[in-house]
């Protein structure tokens, strides 16, 4: 296990949370592999509870998960993936594809947003499918 990631900038003692697309992907993967596709008090190596909670709330705001609840004791519950969350995860699930998506975004100096990630993933998937189709058509 490496150094603990933090996504907070301390500005005069105030914590500013940041969206982390790698963590968002990991949260989606954890939800999917959970027995009932629901998770209570998720732990992901290298990430703080605050980082997980913040990014899970973003997933709820973006309709990627069905539910997010937090109680007064600081426990939280993340509901199952929505149809859109499942589709998004399907497009970024593979580690090599995820690295390629991030590389393209960085190379082209694009903003690292849901829409851009989804667009780049769709383009990569379409190019792969076109290559497979061409191979099938030209090699009966």
Using the 3D structure, point to which of 86, 116, 132 is the last residue of a domain: 86
Does residue 81 sit in the same domain as residue 103? no
Residues 67-77 as b or e (16 or more Cβ within 10 Å = b): ebeeeeeeebe
Does residue 79 sit in the same domain as residue 106? no
In a domain, 6, yes or no: no
pLDDT-based confidence at residue 140 (cuts at 50, 70, 90): low
If we measure between CA atoms, which residue out of 57, 92, 65 comes closest to residue 81? 65
Pairing mode of beta strands 76-78, 8-11: unpaired
CB 16 within 8 A of CB 8: yes
Share of the chain above pLDDT 70, in %: 85
Q: What is the pLDDT of residues 72-125, one digit of tens each?
A: 988 899 999 999 999 999 999 999 999 999 999 999 999 999 999 999 999 998
% helix, strand, coil for the chain, step of 5: 55, 15, 35
Please provide the average confidence, as pLDDT, over all residues in the chain: 86
In a domain, 8, yes or no: no
In a domain, 9, yes or no: no
Does residue 110 sit in the same domain as residue 79? no
Does residue 21 sit in the same domain as residue 76? yes
In a domain, 7, yes or no: no
Does residue 107 sit in the same domain as residue 72? no
Whether residue 3 is predicted with pLDDT greater than 50 in this model: the reply is no
If we measure between CA atoms, which residue out of 20, 45, 11 comes closest to residue 113? 20
Degrees, nearest 5: CA angle 89-86-44: 55
Does residue 76 sit in the same domain as residue 116? no
In a domain, 100, yes or no: yes
In a domain, 75, yes or no: yes
Whether residue 8 is predicted with pLDDT greater than 90 in this model: the reply is no
Whether residue 6 is predicted with pLDDT greater than 60 in this model: the reply is no
In this prediction, residue 10 carries a pLDDT of 53
In this prediction, residue 1 carries a pLDDT of 41
Residue 116 is part of which domain span? Answer: 94-140
Q: End-to-end CA distance of the chain: give it in Å, rounded.
A: 48
Compute how many other C-beta atoms are within 10 angstroms of the C-beta atom of residue 126: 10
How far apart (Å, rounded) are the C-alpha atoms in residues 17 and 29? 21
In a domain, 64, yes or no: yes
For the chain, the domain total comes to 2
Whether residue 56 is predicted with pLDDT greater than 90 in this model: the reply is yes
How far apart (Å, rounded) are the C-alpha atoms in residues 119 and 83? 17
């Amino acid at each position: 296990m490496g150094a603990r990631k933090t996504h907070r900038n301390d500005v005069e003692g105030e914590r500013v949370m940041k969206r982390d697309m790698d963590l968002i992907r990991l949260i989606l993967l954890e939800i999917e592999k959970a027995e009932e596709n629901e998770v209570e008090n998720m732990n992901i190596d290298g990430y703080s509870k605050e980082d997980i909670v913040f990014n899970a709330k973003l997933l709820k705001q973006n309709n990627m998960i069905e539910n997010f609840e937090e109680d007064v004791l600081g426990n939280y519950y993340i509901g199952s993936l929505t149809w859109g969350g499942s589709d998004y995860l399907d497009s970024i699930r593979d580690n090599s594809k995820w690295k390629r998506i991030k590389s393209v975004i960085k190379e082209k100096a694009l903003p690292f947003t849901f829409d851009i990630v989804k667009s780049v993933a769709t383009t990569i998937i379409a190019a792969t499918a076109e290559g497979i189709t061409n191979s099938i058509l030209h090699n009966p």
